[in-house]
């Protein structure tokens, strides 16, 4: 492994804890490479969200998290339950983020 790859490997291990095997970490690094993340710094800057489940629920949950917690959207309670978070992902956020699913969950990264 190159020095950059070792640093990225360590950053993944630090951020995601010990739930990754060596093989899973290498596969994750390959997925990251596919979206243009090849260094620890790029990983840390682009990482946006981790969901323990699969993408159909993860996308909805991420959209709600991003709008409410990150963007501090003030959505009245009377309207909140009617928000179609999947539509928010499909029509807005998916263009600004990359996501991929692994055996350990679904991960979201800012586009480079």
pLDDT digits (tens, 9 = 90+) for 63-103: 999 999 999 999 999 999 899 999 999 999 999 999 988 88
Label residue 58 by pLDDT band (50, 70, 90): very high
Q: How many residues does the chain have?
A: 112
The tally of domains found in the chain comes to 1
Q: What is the extent of the structural domain holding 36?
A: 3-110
- Asked if the model's pLDDT at residue 19 lies above 80, the reply is no
Average pLDDT, the chain: 90
Label residue 16 by pLDDT band (50, 70, 90): confident
Q: What's the confidence (pLDDT) of residue 54?
A: 66
pTM, 2 dp: 0.88
Rounded distance, CA 14 to CA 65, Å? Answer: 23
Rounded to an integer, the average pLDDT of 54-69 is: 88
Percent of the chain scoring above 90 in pLDDT = 71
Q: Which sign does the torsion angle of CA 17, 20, 21, 25 carry?
A: negative
Q: Classify residue 5 by burial, with Cβ atoms within 10 Å: 0-12, 13-18, 19+.
A: middle
Strand 47-51 and strand 105-110: the pairing is: antiparallel
Describe the strand order of the beta sheet including 105-110 as a list of residue ranges: 47-51, 105-110, 97-102
Distances in Å between the alpha carbon of 36 and those of 39, 86, 109? 9, 25, 11
């Amino acid at each position: 492994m190159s020095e950059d790859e070792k640093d990225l490997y360590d950053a993944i291990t630090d951020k995601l804890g010990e739930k990754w095997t060596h093989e899973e970490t290498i596969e994750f690094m390959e997925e990251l490479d596919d979206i243009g993340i090849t260094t620890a710094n790029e990983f840390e800057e682009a990482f946006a969200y981790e969901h323990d489940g699969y993408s159909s629920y993860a996308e909805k949950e991420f959209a709600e998290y991003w709008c409410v917690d990150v963007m501090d959207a003030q959505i009245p309670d009377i309207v909140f339950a009617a928000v179609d978070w999947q539509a928010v992902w499909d029509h807005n956020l998916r263009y600004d983020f990359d996501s991929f699913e692994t055996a350990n969950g679904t991960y979201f990264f800012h586009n480079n």
